[in-house]
Amino acid sequence: MAALNTILYLVVFPGILFLFVYSTFVEWFDRKVFARLQNRMGPTHTGKSGLLQPIADFVKLMAKEDIVPDKADKKMFSALPVVGLAIVITAGLLLPVWNIDLASPGPISFPGDLIVILYLLSLPTLVLFLAGWSSTNAFSIIGGTRVLTMLFGYEVPLFLAVLSPAVLAGSWRMAEIAAFYRAHPLLLLVNLIGFVVALISVQAKLERTPFDIPHAETEIVGGTFTEYSGKKLAFFRLMADIEMVVAAGLLATVFMGGFGGGILSAFVQFIAKTLLVVFLLTVLRAVTGRIRVDQVVSFAWKWLAPLAVLQLLIVILIKGFVL
Amino acid sequence: MNDEQKIEKLKTFAPPEAIAHPAPRRIFVTVEPSGLVALTARMKAELDTWFLSTISGVDKGEFFELLYHYGDTSGSVHVRTKIPRSDPRLPSICGVIPGAVLYEREIQEMFGITVENIPDPRPLLTSDDWPAGNFPLRKDWKFDRPAEVIPGGKK
Amino acid sequence: MKFNIPIGPQHPALKEPISIRLSVEGEVIRDADLRLGYNHRGVEKLAEEKSYIQNIYLCERICGICSHSHSTCFVQGAEKLLEIEPPRRGVYIRYLVSELERVHSHLLWLGVAGHEAGFDTFFMYTWRDREIVMDLLEMISGNRVHYAINTLGGVRRDIDGPLKQKIFDGLAVLRERSEYYLKIGSSEPTFVARLAGVGRLTKQQAMDLCATGPTAKASGVALDVRKDDPHDFYDEVEFDVVTSDLCDVLGRTVVRIKEVLESYKICEQILRKLPDGPIAVKSPRRAKPGEVVSRYEAPRGENIHYIIANGTEKPERLKVRAPTLGNYAATIEMLRHGFIADVPLIFAAIDPCICCAERSVEMVDARSGEERTYRFSDLRRMANERARTLPLQRNVAWPL
């Protein structure tokens, strides 16, 4: 039974199948909201209200010709999309998607899984950098260096912002953090600054406007993805979608009290809370223009990092004097 | 500055018979190519004609007629110069008006006029493998299409 | 590390082919060069083989955005050569279309600037509102892009009462929207962060490099053909020449939005003062030998046509200088020492119209990679030959 559970966990929920279907739904939601905010219709044709459009796009890309540039490092060039996809799916498995029995957590929840998921979410950035670098295209290389430059900006604020709720809860384990905040919901308000910082950092990590600098099409064509086509591009796009789901799930776990109750109740909460985070990210995307890479780094260190430190200070003070 | 004032000022450094005033706000000055740069500098200093709209060239058979169009806040002044077809050389005015370089490059490739002392002599519009000696805006220019070559195909 | 980055001839930021060659160090541009000629069509040579009336339509096709500016500029000059005086009503309608075209061109530019800055929402909003002015132009002239409203001696279509009211209504909506864009364009933090201080061109540089249009106006150079050389219309309406001292892309954005507001003012004055009478007079076919210089303030800057008549029904020479060509020298200066991220913005900020700037037909043979020059007659002959030699298809189903 335990083996079956593990297999179901890996393959169905919240494993590959669920992540695939839900990430395409999230992409549709993102596109639709973005379009409505711009007075457009968004996807309408494939499926009801265009729900199947992201899947259709994925299938179309899978069927397209797959070209590897002559001068590229062929093995690395081909392996990176799969590696990237595997990394984000692994990260997805770590999300505490239901009320895990804290006494016997099983293999997926352990002390310190918060650090592991943050680490796993950093890896796709490195994959994108290597993808840009191994393409040996001038545009890709510039895109790759931009990916790394941005990493130095947003990564530290993100870590600080996500760790402060953990400090308040006194645990490095996501299931425990979520349980702590479900027990003390008012304490969620303490972390508001951290939530905003984390939201903006996640936007940067997902490379969405105003931080879509590494693949800014009007400047450097496709950036890191310039030379990618066909299946490999499809995997990268799926990777980005799943990364968005995982990042939204992480924020929902840490800042919104996670997903309590039975499996069904937890499922509904997961959908509602991640969609709320995605909605905020989409609004942020719609109301801003793209900024420059030097502006990202200076913005991250002048605003995000100090705010994250302030959040940490507030948390420590509250923990020391109030609780 | 109205037209009369401009003509008065022009008369101080150009002969009166070289100045024409065919329409309101249009003044034409004729000058020898050798005196072009000096006149341009003088006009820029005294008439404030720093804005060169363009340089137009016409093939008139025996000679090319070039017209430098200057715009200002009260109309326009046009400097006319003629150079013989047998010896098409023209001094560059880029030293006085740096923005003239694009127009001089265009004149060079379209009429086959050599602009002396031009800072950037490359062709402006024609392709990299443009055959030498073809100047499209000369009236006698005709183009014969070369035979088509299909690489790897039938000869 | 030094890279050479080619922007174009094909690039997502470019709507028309031009090649910008950049040499960059990291993200900073060290040197820039422009290569033109990908869109050179030989309009000047072709115009020598066409009659005056045909040339109106040829000039209209020099540009796809400011089509009216070239045809008006040509007609202004040709009317002087043919010694005809268009009736006032015709002139008023002609410049009404001019100002509406300026509105549509500037709104289009605003959208493109938003897109180049990665601000797609702004792009969608401005282009939605641009539809209003496009519809007005279609109601007036019957066409959305090539209005074909000019003719020698006046215009081809009249405006009636209900249409006048529709234009007033449309202008009211547009004015409100434009004021909103002025607010967004100068206050949205990410947008302003991208535009401010980018592509600096000082007043002295603008004067030296003969910049024109909004590029020069944003550097504080108040040069506007409508004021300086009002032809026979612009001294009858009141408007201000908009300038800005910001000397950067933000300045150019502000200048364009304010210029649009001035255009609404001009349009309303035209509609209020619209005189009665005929809209066109008959024009002779031949012009006496002579020459004329015609200047016109196109949305992108000064447009100048120089026409020589030789007593026949065709001009001896037509020289066209579109505003974009005048701004290239300034563009190279602006690109230097900027960031790669700013290239599309700086380039877009002159509102480049490459097909305007390059006017003889040059084509690349895709199979041999050779560049060839074809004349229009050759193309027509080739097309006819192709039509003649195509195998005859029978029983072809009508696609609808």
Q: What CATH number did the domain enclosing B36 receive?
A: 3.30.460.80
Interface residue C157 vs chain B (CB under 8 A): no
3-state secondary structure A171-238: CCCHHHHHHHHHHCHHHHHHHHHHHHHHHHHHHHHCCCCCCCHHHCHHHHCCHHHCCCCHHHHHHHHH
Q: Note whether residue A9 is domain-resident.
A: no
* Residues C328, C324: Cα–Cα separation, whole Å: 7
Yes or no, beta carbons of C13 and A217 under 8 Å apart: yes
Identity of the residue in B53, B125, B153 whose CB atom sits nearest the CB atom of C36: B125
Identity of the residue in B102, B128, B136 whose CB atom sits nearest the CB atom of C325: B102
Secondary structure (3-state) at B79: strand
DSSP B138: S
Distance from CA of C334 to the nearest CA of A (A): 16
- What range does the domain containing C288 cover? 45-356
Q: Does A175 score more than 70 pLDDT?
A: yes
Yes or no, beta carbons of A218 and C116 under 8 Å apart: yes
Residues of C in contact with B110 (CB under 8 A): 360
Tell me: do C352 and C364 sit in the same domain: no
* Inter-CA distances, C294 with B26, B33, B75, Å: 10, 25, 11
Neighbours of chain B (3+ CB pairs under 8 A): C
Q: What is the pLDDT of residue C370?
A: 43
Per residue in A204-232, pLDDT (tens digit) is: 988 888 888 888 777 777 788 888 888 89
Residue with token string 């944003």? C218
- Given a contact cutoff of 8 angstroms between Cβ atoms, the answer to whether A231 and A62 are in contact is yes
Neighbours of chain C (3+ CB pairs under 8 A): A, B
- Given a contact cutoff of 8 angstroms between Cβ atoms, the answer to whether C244 and B134 are in contact is no
Q: What is the pLDDT of residue C362?
A: 37
* Residues A15, C79: Cα–Cα separation, whole Å: 76
Amino acid at A31: R
Yes or no, beta carbons of C228 and B75 under 8 Å apart: yes
CB burial of residue A280 (10 Å; 0-12, 13-18, 19+): middle
Identity of the residue in C11, C114, C121 whose CB atom sits nearest the CB atom of A286: C121
* Inter-CA distances, A230 with A36, A81, A241, Å: 29, 11, 17
- CATH of residue C279: 1.10.645.10
CB burial of residue A86 (10 Å; 0-12, 13-18, 19+): middle
- What range does the domain containing B59 cover? 3-116
Identity of the residue in A210, A221, A294 whose CB atom sits nearest the CB atom of C190: A210
Per residue in C30-69, pLDDT (tens digit) is: 888 888 777 777 788 788 888 888 888 888 888 888 888 8
Query: For testing the chain C interface, which of B109, B125, B148 should be mutated: the one with the most C CBs within 10 Å?
Result: B125
Main-chain dihedrals φ then ψ at residue C5, nearest 5 degrees: -110, 125
Residues of C in contact with B52 (CB under 8 A): 210
Tell me: do C20 and C133 sit in the same domain: no
Token code pair at residue C130: 């641009």
Q: Which of residues 6-35 of C touch B (CB under 8 A)?
A: none
Q: What is the pLDDT of residue A106?
A: 63
- Given a contact cutoff of 8 angstroms between Cβ atoms, the answer to whether C307 and C290 are in contact is no
Query: For testing the chain A interface, which of C180, C187, C249, C340 should be mutated: the one with the most A CBs within 10 Å?
Result: C340
- Given a contact cutoff of 8 angstroms between Cβ atoms, the answer to whether A39 and A45 are in contact is no
Interface residue C305 vs chain B (CB under 8 A): no
CA neighbor of C149 nearest in space, from C134, C137, C163: C137
Give Cβ neighbours of residue A70 (< 8 Å, ≥ 6 apart). none
DSSP A95: S
Q: What is the pLDDT of residue C360?
A: 38
How many independent structural domains does chain C possess? 2
* Residues C136, C144: Cα–Cα separation, whole Å: 9
Q: Which of residues 62-121 of B touch C (CB under 8 A)?
A: 67, 69, 71-76, 78, 97-103, 110
Average pLDDT over residues A91-119: 77
Token code pair at residue C87: 């009736």
Average pLDDT over residues A139-148: 86
Yes or no, beta carbons of A38 and C120 under 8 Å apart: yes
Secondary structure (3-state) at B66: strand
Pairing of strands C19-25, B75-84: unpaired
Identity of the residue in C118, C121, C193 whose CB atom sits nearest the CB atom of A216: C118
Yes or no, beta carbons of C229 and B149 under 8 Å apart: no
Q: Note whether residue A106 is domain-resident.
A: yes
Residue with token string 């009290």? A257
Which pLDDT tens digits describe chain C residue by residue (400 residues)? 677 777 777 877 777 788 888 888 777 888 888 887 777 777 887 888 888 888 888 888 888 888 888 899 999 888 888 888 889 898 999 999 999 999 999 999 888 888 888 888 888 888 988 999 999 999 888 888 888 888 888 888 888 888 889 899 999 999 998 888 888 877 778 788 878 888 888 888 888 888 888 888 888 888 888 888 887 788 888 888 888 888 888 888 888 888 999 999 999 999 898 888 888 888 888 888 888 888 888 888 888 888 888 888 888 888 888 888 888 888 888 888 788 778 888 887 777 776 666 653 333 333 333 444 455 566 666 666 666 665 554 554 544 4
Per residue in A48-65, pLDDT (tens digit) is: 888 899 999 999 999 988
How many independent structural domains does chain A possess? 1
Q: Note whether residue C395 is domain-resident.
A: no
* Inter-CA distances, C86 with A183, B32, C234, C308, Å: 84, 38, 15, 20
- Given a contact cutoff of 8 angstroms between Cβ atoms, the answer to whether C122 and C184 are in contact is yes
Query: For testing the chain B interface, which of C229, C300, C355, C375 should be mutated: the one with the most B CBs within 10 Å?
Result: C229
Residues of A in contact with C191 (CB under 8 A): 288-289
Yes or no, beta carbons of C370 and B78 under 8 Å apart: no
Q: What is the pLDDT of residue B127?
A: 75
Yes or no, beta carbons of C319 and B54 under 8 Å apart: yes
Interface residue A60 vs chain C (CB under 8 A): no
Token code pair at residue C31: 């040197």
* Residues A208, B135: Cα–Cα separation, whole Å: 51
CB burial of residue C12 (10 Å; 0-12, 13-18, 19+): middle
- Given a contact cutoff of 8 angstroms between Cβ atoms, the answer to whether C218 and C246 are in contact is yes
Distance from CA of C367 to the nearest CA of B (A): 6
Q: What is the pLDDT of residue A107?
A: 65
- pLDDT classification of A276: cutoffs 50, 70, 90: very high
* Residues A259, A268: Cα–Cα separation, whole Å: 8
Yes or no, beta carbons of C80 and B128 under 8 Å apart: no
Tell me: do C377 and C242 sit in the same domain: no
Residues of C in contact with A221 (CB under 8 A): 11-12
Token code pair at residue B124: 């402006």
Q: What is the pLDDT of residue C358?
A: 66
Pairing of strands C2-7, B75-84: unpaired
For the CA atoms of A208, A212, A215, A221, what is the dihedral angle to 10 degrees? 120
Tell me: do C226 and C301 sit in the same domain: yes
- pLDDT classification of A25: cutoffs 50, 70, 90: very high
How many independent structural domains does chain B possess? 1
Nearest-by-CA chain A residue for C25: A142
CB burial of residue B7 (10 Å; 0-12, 13-18, 19+): middle
CA neighbor of A187 nearest in space, from A254, A234, A241: A254
Tell me: do C81 and C124 sit in the same domain: yes
Distance from CA of C4 to the nearest CA of A (A): 8
Angle at C398 between CA C393 and CA C400, to 5 degrees: 155
Identity of the residue in A139, A145, A291 whose CB atom sits nearest the CB atom of C190: A291
Q: Note whether residue B131 is domain-resident.
A: no
- pLDDT classification of A283: cutoffs 50, 70, 90: very high
Interface residue C190 vs chain B (CB under 8 A): no
Interface residue B15 vs chain C (CB under 8 A): no
In this complex, whether B and A touch, counting 3 or more CB pairs under 8 angstroms, is no
Tell me: do C30 and C114 sit in the same domain: no
Amino acid at C273: K
Tell me: do C29 and C157 sit in the same domain: no
- Given a contact cutoff of 8 angstroms between Cβ atoms, the answer to whether C9 and C38 are in contact is yes
* Residues C300, C324: Cα–Cα separation, whole Å: 7
Amino acid at C175: R
* Residues A134, A126: Cα–Cα separation, whole Å: 12
* Residues A165, A177: Cα–Cα separation, whole Å: 8
In this complex, whether A and C touch, counting 3 or more CB pairs under 8 angstroms, is yes
Q: What is the pLDDT of residue C361?
A: 38
Token code pair at residue A127: 């994959």
Q: Does A81 score more than 60 pLDDT?
A: yes
Yes or no, beta carbons of C341 and A219 under 8 Å apart: yes
Neighbours of chain A (3+ CB pairs under 8 A): C
Q: Note whether residue C399 is domain-resident.
A: no
Per residue in B14-61, pLDDT (tens digit) is: 888 888 888 888 888 888 888 888 888 888 888 888 888 888 888 888
Q: Note whether residue C189 is domain-resident.
A: yes
Which residues lie across from C155 on neighbouring strands? C150
Tell me: do C86 and C28 sit in the same domain: no
* Residues C10, A255: Cα–Cα separation, whole Å: 46
Residues of C in contact with B137 (CB under 8 A): 44-45, 360
Q: What is the pLDDT of residue B155?
A: 56
Interface residue B149 vs chain C (CB under 8 A): yes
Average pLDDT over residues A71-97: 87
Which residues lie across from B116 on neighbouring strands? B91
3-state secondary structure chain C: CEEEEEECCCCCCCCCCCEEEEEEECCEEEEEEEECCCCCECHHHHHCCCCHHHHHHHHHCCCCCCHHHHHHHHHHHHHHHHCCCCCHHHHHHHHHHHHHHHHHHHHHHHHHHHHHCCCHHHHHHHHHHHHHHHHHHHHHHCCCCCCCCEECCEECCCCCHHHHHHHHHHHHHHHHHHHHHHHHHHHCHHHHHHHCCCCCCCHHHHHHCCCCCHHHHCCCCCCCHHHHCCCCCHHHCCCCCCCCCCCCHHHHHHHHHHHHHHHHHHHHHHHHHCCCCCCECCCCCCCCCEEEEEEEEECCEEEEEEEEECCCCCEEEEEEECHHHHHHHHHHHHHCCCEHHHHHHHHHHCCCCHHHHCCCEEEECCCCCCEEEECHHHHHHHHHHHHHHCCCCCCCCCCC
* Residues C34, C21: Cα–Cα separation, whole Å: 6
Q: Note whether residue B130 is domain-resident.
A: no
CA neighbor of C121 nearest in space, from A278, A284, A244: A284
Average pLDDT over residues A194-200: 91
In this complex, whether C and B touch, counting 3 or more CB pairs under 8 angstroms, is yes
Q: What is the pLDDT of residue B145?
A: 67
Interface residue B130 vs chain C (CB under 8 A): yes
Q: What is the pLDDT of residue C12?
A: 77
Q: Note whether residue A118 is domain-resident.
A: yes
* Residues C353, C334: Cα–Cα separation, whole Å: 17
Q: What is the pLDDT of residue A234?
A: 92
